[in-house]
C-alpha cells in the first residue's frame, strides 16, 4: 500500500486517478492537502459515494461528471446526494435547477441559490415564492436561503434592495455581492 506520508505529489495524483486504486486508498487521498489530488479522487469511478458527497462541496462539477454519478442517477433520482450534487453543479441545465427549486429541502435550495449557473428568474422565485420549509410559514426564517441568494453574482440590484429588509445575516451577504446597492 502507498505510504501517503512520504509519497511524491505526482505519485499521489496518479494513485488518485487510477481506476484500479482501492476505495480505502481513495478515501485517504480525499483528505490530501493538494486540491489536484482531491479533484482526481472526485473523478475516479472507484471512489466511495460517501467520499464523493464530501468532495462534492469542493468539486461539484467533477462529481456530476464522474461515470458512477450517472449510475446513481439512474438507480435513485430521489437520492438526496444526487439532488444536492446536481444543485451544486455549474453545468446543470436551467430546467433541472427549476425542478429542484420546488423541493422543500433547505440545503438543496441554498445550493441552488449559491450556484453561479442559477439564472435571475430562479433566484427571484426563491425569494418571492420559497417552498414551505417549516410547519408554520408565518414564523419561517428564510435567512440562510436569502443570504445565499444575496451572495449570488446573478442577483440583480433590485432583488438585493428587496433583500435588505431581512436584515442581519442577509445584509452581511449583500455586502459581499459586487452588485450591492448603496443603502442610506
pLDDT per residue as tens digits for the range 38-58:
999 999 999 998 898 889 889
pLDDT for res 23: 95
Q: Are 171 and 164 in contact (CB under 8 A)?
A: yes
pLDDT for res 75: 66
Tens of pLDDT, residue by residue over 130-162, are: 887 666 555 457 899 999 999 999 999 999 999
pLDDT for res 138: 55
Query: pTM to 2 decimals?
Result: 0.66
Region for 169 from its dihedrals, namely left if φ exceeds 0, alpha if ψ lies in -120 to 50, beta otherwise = alpha
Amino acid at each position: 500500500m502507498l505510504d501517503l506520508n512520504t509519497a511524491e505529489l505526482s505519485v499521489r495524483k496518479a494513485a488518485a486517478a487510477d481506476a484500479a486504486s482501492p476505495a480505502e486508498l481513495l478515501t485517504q487521498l480525499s483528505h490530501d492537502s493538494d486540491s489536484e489530488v482531491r479533484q482526481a479522487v472526485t473523478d475516479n469511478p472507484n471512489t466511495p459515494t460517501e467520499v464523493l458527497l464530501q468532495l462534492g462541496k469542493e468539486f461539484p462539477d467533477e462529481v456530476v461528471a464522474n461515470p458512477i454519478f450517472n449510475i446513481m442517477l439512474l438507480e435513485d433520482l430521489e437520492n438526496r446526494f444526487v439532488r444536492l450534487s446536481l444543485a451544486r453543479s455549474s453545468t446543470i441545465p436551467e430546467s433541472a435547477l427549476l425542478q429542484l427549486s420546488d423541493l422543500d429541502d433547505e440545503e438543496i435550495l441554498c445550493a441552488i441559490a449559491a450556484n453561479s449557473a442559477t439564472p435571475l428568474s430562479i433566484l427571484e422565485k426563491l425569494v418571492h415564492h420559497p417552498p414551505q420549509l417549516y410547519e408554520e410559514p408565518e414564523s419561517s426564517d428564510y435567512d440562510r436561503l436569502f443570504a445565499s441568494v444575496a451572495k449570488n453574482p446573478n442577483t440583480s440590484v433590485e432583488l438585493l434592495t428587496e433583500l435588505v429588509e431581512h436584515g442581519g445575516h442577509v445584509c452581511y451577504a449583500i455586502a459581499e455581492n459586487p452588485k450591492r446597492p448603496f443603502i442610506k
